[in-house]
Amino acid sequence: MRELLRGKGIVVTRPKEQSGELIALLEAAGALPIPFPAIRIEAPENWQSLDAALTDLARFQWAIFSSRNAVQFALSRLQALARQWPASTRIAAVGRETARALKDFGLGVDLVPERFSSEGLLEHPALLEVRGERIALFAGDQGRELLERTLGERGALVEKVYCYRRSVPGANPTPLLHAWARGELQAVTVTSPEIFNNFYQMVGGLGQRWLKTTPIVAISPLTAEAITAKGLPAPWVAPEASNQGLLQALQDWAAHTEGSGK
């Protein structure tokens, strides 16, 4: 099959530590990945909240991990505390990549939704009747409140456990803007509303103007909403919230572009 992405410059905005798989997929497809991390993931300012949850995990019926960042920080801290995961506390992951990160730490995952999102998780029968259950929600700062709010409305006792914080990198956008000006940048991938908003801020007025005519591929409908909220054209949306989904959306975009002669 002809490689639709061959020679195309694709911006990867994921954090540096988490961009390797997507970059490898793009390179295998013949694309030219352009790393430009638009978010920095850091340890929390203090470990008090996380340590309190990790030292008494058995009090929770469920632990929900909202991202693989949450997995990495929470379980690395669990190891540092020399604690074991209690068999009585079931584990839910918001998506496949988060579940994979949990398995890398040797933990089984009891629940992964068919639709990789908070909405998909909330649709699962196991989380519909949770009145009186204690649920630990491992997440970062600045995240969505949907899981916490909805599970609380269902009668669960939800404890949000902050595992990491997000910040805007201080990267110089000039090399990226020069590549854009030379016609070396054909599409941009974004994997969260926070990443898109940071990227939009980082590229400044010139980059923001170019974004009006540069295809953007979003990992989810929620991320797509952040893009259109800036007045930009609707992006291509991955069929599932994963690196493979991003690759598929990029290939769909490239096939459409080639078919339309653009």
Q: Can you give the pLDDT at residue 260?
A: 64
What is the per-residue pLDDT for 1? 39
Token look-up 């584990």 returns: 91
Through-space distance between the first and last CA atoms of the chain, rounded to whole angstroms? 21
For residue 131, how many other CB atoms are within 10 A of its CB? 8
Give the 3-state DSSP-derived string for the chain, with helices as H, strands as E and coil as C. Answer: CCCCCCCCEEEECCCHHHCHHHHHHHHHCCCEEEECCCCEEECCCCCHHHHHHHCCHHHCCEEEECCHHHHHHHHHHHHHCCCCCCCCCEEEECCHHHHHHHHHCCCCCCECCCCCCHHHHHHCHHHCCCCCCEEEEEEECCCCCHHHHHHHHCCCEEEEEEEEEEECCCCCCHHHHHHHHCCCCCEEEECCHHHHHHHHHHCHHHHHHHHCCCCEEECCHHHHHHHHCCCCCCCEECCCCCHHHHHHHHHHHHHHHHHHCC
Between CA 174 and CA 177 the distance in angstroms is: 5
Cα-Cα-Cα-Cα dihedral of 66, 72, 78, 84, to 10°?
A: 80
pLDDT for res 258: 80
Residues carrying CATH 3.40.50.10090, the chain? 9-39+169-260, 42-167
Please give the average pLDDT of every successive group of 10 residues along the chain, which has 262 residues: 85 92 95 96 91 96 94 96 96 92 95 87 94 96 84 96 91 95 97 94 96 96 95 95 93 87 57
Does domain 42-167 bear CATH number 3.50.50.60?
A: no
Query: Quick one: fold of 9-39+169-260?
Result: Rossmann fold (3.40.50)
Bridge-based pairing of strands 62-65 and 90-93 is parallel
Distance of CA 130 to the CA centre of its chain: 26
User: Sign of torsion, CA 249 12 113 141?
Assistant: negative
* The model's pTM: 0.81
Do residues 42 and 165 lie in contact, with contact meaning Cβ atoms separated by under 8 Å? yes
Residue found under tokens 């519909």: 128
